Amino acid sequence: MITWTSRTGRGRRDVDPFCALEVQVALARVERLVSNLQRDNRRFAQAHHLYAAVAAYDHLLTEACALAGVELTEGGDGETRRLLAEVELRARGWSW
């Protein structure tokens, strides 16, 4: 959930830092899940779980980009778009 707070007289919007922190924590948690799923060959329905985890990670990246003011392009495949989003977020000081 994106929460915006407005500053009067400046004409810009600032992001609630707790909302940004919540997204960063969720990104770290889902990134660990994706990594674990990629290494675990014994899990039943691994592909389904991995697909769902990557979709959740992409959704969180989109939310993080909205919070950070990063505009994502529509072109490119999922991996390229994901990499560009991660680079832009890290360049703006995001970590997870």
Tell me the domain boundaries of the chain: 14-91
Res 77: pLDDT: 85
- Rounded CA-CA distance 8/30 in Å is 36
Q: Which two structure tokens, joined as six digits, stand for 14?
A: 């600032």
pLDDT of 9 = 42
Q: What is the pLDDT of residues 68-87, one digit of tens each?
A: 999 887 777 889 999 999 99
Check residue 95 and give its pLDDT.
94
The strand pairing partners of 6, in sequence order, are: 13
Residue-level pLDDT at 4: 42
The answer to whether the beta carbons of residues 58 and 45 sit under 8 Å apart is no
Residue numbers in the chain where pLDDT is lower than 50: 1-12
Rg of the Cα atoms in the chain: 15
Tokens linked to 18: 């707790």
Look up residue 83 and give its two tokens: 């990499």
